[in-house]
Amino acid sequence: MPCEPAPRRRAQQRLAQILNAAEGVFAQADFRGANMAAIAAAAGLPKAILHCYFGTKEALYTELLDNILSLWLSATAPIRPEADPAFALESYIRDKMQCPGSVRWPRGSPPMKCCTGAQYLRSHLAGPLRRRAAEKSAVLQGWMDQGRMRPVIPLIFSLQSGR
C-alpha cells in the first residue's frame, strides 16, 4: 500500500482533532454557547485553522452530526433480508454499543441532544436516516412475517442483561 502524502495525512489528523474537540465543546456549552474560539482552544489549534476547515460554527456542527449519523447508520449494515436474524441483530447491537450515544456518551451523544442545534438535523431526519429506518423496518417485518424472529428474542434478552 503506497504511503499517503504527509500533508493529506496531517489534514485528516487535524480534521479528527477538530471534530473531537468540537464534540466536547458542544457537549458542554450546547450549540448556542459554543464558539469557534473555544473549539480552537480545545483542539489546541489557532482559530484561523478552524475557519480554513469550516467557515462557520454551523458548518462544523453539521459535519459533526454527519459523522455521528454515519456511524449510527453503518451499524445497520448487517440487517439485510438474506441475513440470519440472530447474527444480524447481535452484530447491530454490538456495533451500536460502540457508537456515540452508547458507551462514550451513555446518556446520549451531546451534539445530538443540543436542542438549539436541532435545525441542522432536519435534512438528515427527512432524508438518509428516514430512508434507512424504513429499509431496515421492512427487513424486520419480512423476518417476522416469515417467522424468522422467534429464535432471536432470547438473544436480545441475553444481550440486554450482559450474559
Judged against a pLDDT cut of 60, whether residue 23 lies above it is answered with: yes
- Domain limits at 41? 6-161
41 burial level (CB within 10 Å; 0-12, 13-18, 19+) = middle
pLDDT of residue 107: 44
In a domain, 112, yes or no: yes
In a domain, 118, yes or no: yes
In a domain, 104, yes or no: yes
Give pLDDT tens digits for 100-127.
Answer: 555 555 444 555 555 456 666 676 667 7
3-class secondary structure per residue, 65-114: HHHHHHHHHHCCCCCCCCCCHHHHHHHHHHHHCCCCCCCCCCCCCHHHHC
Domain CATH number, residue 96: 1.10.357.10
In a domain, 1, yes or no: no
In a domain, 138, yes or no: yes
Cell (9 digits) for 62: 453539521
Structural domains of the chain, count:
1
If you average pLDDT over every residue of the chain, what do you get?
79
Give pLDDT tens digits for 39-81.
Answer: 999 999 999 999 999 999 989 988 888 887 777 788 889 999 9
In a domain, 100, yes or no: yes
pLDDT of residue 129: 74
pLDDT of residue 118: 63
pLDDT of residue 51: 92
In a domain, 63, yes or no: yes
Alpha-carbon span 136 to 89, nearest angstrom: 11
Using 50, 70 and 90 to split pLDDT, how confident is the model at 152?
low
Alpha-carbon dihedral 118, 120, 121, 122, rounded to 10 degrees: 100
